[in-house]
Amino acid sequence: MTYEDVLFTVEAGVATITINRPKVMNAFRGKTCEELIHAFNKAGWDKAVGVIVLTGTGDRAFCTGGDQSAHDGNYDGRGIIGLPVEELQSIIREVPKPVIARVQGYAIGGGNVLATLCDFTIASDKAQFGQVGPKVGSVDPGFGTAYLARIVGEKRAREIWYLCRRYTAAEAMAMGLVNAVVPHDQLDAEVAKWCAEILEKSPTALAIAKRSFNADTDSIRGIGGMGMQALAMYYATEESKEGVRAFNEKRKPDFRKFQK
Ligand SMILES: CC(C)(COP(=O)(O)OP(=O)(O)OC[C@H]1O[C@@H](n2cnc3c(N)ncnc32)[C@H](O)[C@@H]1OP(=O)(O)O)[C@@H](O)C(=O)NCCC(=O)NCCSC(=O)c1cc(O)c2ccccc2c1O
């Protein structure tokens, strides 16, 4: 596969997968998800690779989730909602190698979900985290909600989703969403340090550990699959479309008329 939305490199045991769509703050469209799934599979089963780093191009954003300019009641690709996002989330969990999210800017919406699903998150002090679903007519009904609660606890996860606030890297660290925060100019050195430590360890022990950590939360995938069917119906409503239109028109959404 030739990549258009993603950059892929392998160097000294480290595969780096970079979402390369800086014009839309590294938001993903259908094609981006396909390429990310392909790249994770490639790195996951390459014997030259012991650790995978996921990041975004530039300094502004790690990833800001689904590309709202490619959202017209549904996204523009394959799958129930036009994005094979459940497959992308699953492959991050299923590759038998540790995955590090290198977060240098915004990790928002589906971008925050991707970072949450990685085994580790290393953040620059300029990074910001948050969910935006209920502000833009969406919600991740699987790993993005239920797994987040496993990481930060129920109260915090509900706050993150219901209020759609943004959190600094220090705040994210305090709630257990990131493993380390470093000054922006030291981010690459810190990520390299974590990679080097991982590469010294037994790959098989790491793979078994990763799969055993996953076992406890694998049922969330099934719940998510069911939720996606509901989400596809929600995306077809005027309520959801109001959220997408408001973001694209740079105005506040008016959801009050949809109260049931
Ligand atoms: C990231 C922001 C907080 C940045 O705010 P700021 O004020 O600094 O900058 P702007 O808002 O002016 O943005 C600059 C520029 O970038 C464009 N942009 C940013 N994000 C996106 C995006 N996601 N898609 C398309 N374009 C984007 C923006 O339009 C501006 O363009 P200009 O041409 O005007 O310069 C803020 O931008 C923000 O909150 N962005 C998030 C937007 C969003 O709605 N994201 C998608 C949410 S839904 C989702 O991600 C999602 C993910 C999943 O994994 C799911 C899984 C399962 C089910 C559902 C899922 C799902 O819905």
Tens digit of pLDDT per residue, the chain (260 long)?
999 999 999 999 999 999 999 999 999 999 999 999 999 999 999 999 999 999 999 999 999 999 999 888 889 999 999 999 999 999 999 999 999 999 999 999 999 999 999 999 999 999 999 999 999 999 999 999 999 999 999 999 999 999 999 999 999 999 999 999 999 999 999 999 999 999 999 999 999 999 999 999 999 999 999 999 999 999 999 999 999 999 999 999 999 999 99
For ligand 1, the distance from its centroid to the CA atom of residue 27, given in whole angstroms, is 7
pLDDT for residue 73: 85
| Residue nearest ligand 1's atom 5 by CA | 106
CB of 178 closer than 8 Å to CB of 172: yes
Give residue 14's region: left, alpha or beta (phi > 0; psi -120 to 50): beta
pLDDT for residue 72: 83
Structure tokens at 109: 């919406």
pLDDT for residue 74: 86
Structure tokens at 242: 């109001």
Q: Which domains are assigned to the chain?
A: 1-184+203-260 (3.90.226.10)
Best mutation site among 54, 68, 85, 113 for ligand 1 pocket (most ligand atoms within 8 Å of CB): 68
User: For residue 180, what are the CA distances in angstroms to 111, 196, 213?
Assistant: 18, 16, 20
Give the span between the Cα atoms of 248 and 66, in whole angstroms.
Answer: 13
Give the span between the Cα atoms of 100 and 179, in whole angstroms.
Answer: 10
CA-based R_g, the chain, Å: 18
The answer to whether the predicted template modeling score (pTM) of the entire model surpasses 0.90 is yes
Best mutation site among 33, 64, 93 for ligand 1 pocket (most ligand atoms within 8 Å of CB): 64
| Residue nearest ligand 1's atom 32 by CA | 24
Q: Which atom of ligand 1 is nearest to the CA of 231?
A: 58
pLDDT for residue 71: 85
Give the SS3 label for residue 85.
helix
What's the gap between Cα 112 and its chain centre?
5
pLDDT for residue 126: 98
Which amino acid, 201? Answer: K
Torsion of CA 184, 188, 190, 196, to 10 degrees: 180
**Residues annotated as binding site for substrate?**
64-68, 75, 106-110, 138, 235, 250
Going by the DSSP 8-state scheme, the letter that residue 257 receives in this structure is: G
ipTM at complex level: 0.97
> Which residues form ligand 1's pocket by a CB distance below 6 Å?
24-25, 27, 64-69, 81, 85, 106, 108-110, 113, 132-133, 136, 138, 140, 144, 231, 247
Give the span between the Cα atoms of 211 and 72, in whole angstroms.
Answer: 37
